[in-house]
Amino acid sequence: MVLGADTEVVLAGRLLGKPTDPADAVRILRELRGREHEVITGLAVVELGPPTSAPRQETAAVTSRVRMAEYSDADIEGYVATGEPLDKAGGYAVQGLGGRLVAAVEGCLTNVIGLPLTTTRVLLERHGF
């Protein structure tokens, strides 16, 4: 059995992805400041059966809405200097220091962290795991 997942941050219909460098992280966090965006995680479970049968697979997507605080440029610079945002979709980690930049989360918090645990559990249970 294989479980795959990937998370994207969507602001006004645009994928933000992970910052390419510190300057890009600053740009992304400025764009997000005071605004609401979506965090979408796609999940897939693939279970291989006997060689003569097709793999059993199931997919799901989970969407959460995140409203960012009205943080300052100094807050952005200080956060980016920690290095934390450089490998995070949207340039922040709600479970880390970046949580200070988040005003509210509507929906699944673990989705915003990177893996929606309730949906993951449901998919795995359907496959007998």
Q: Which domains does the chain have, with CATH numbers?
A: 2-126 (3.90.950.10)
Give the full edge-to-edge strand order of the sheet including 36-47: 14-15, 2-11, 36-47, 56-68, 102-106
Contact (CB, 8 A) for 34 and 68: yes
Token pair for residue 11?
């602001």
Strands (DSSP E) contained in 1-129 are 2-11, 14-15, 36-47, 56-68, 102-106
Q: What is the pLDDT of residues 72-84, one digit of tens each?
A: 999 999 999 999 9
Contacts 24+ apart (CB under 8 A), 94-98: 94/66
Handedness of CA 77, 79, 82, 84 (dihedral sign): negative
Q: What is the pLDDT of residues 52-70, one digit of tens each?
A: 888 889 999 999 999 999 9
Token pair for residue 9?
């941050």
Residue of 6, 21, 73, 87 marked active site? 6
**Percent share of the chain, pLDDT over 70:** 100
6 is catalytic: yes
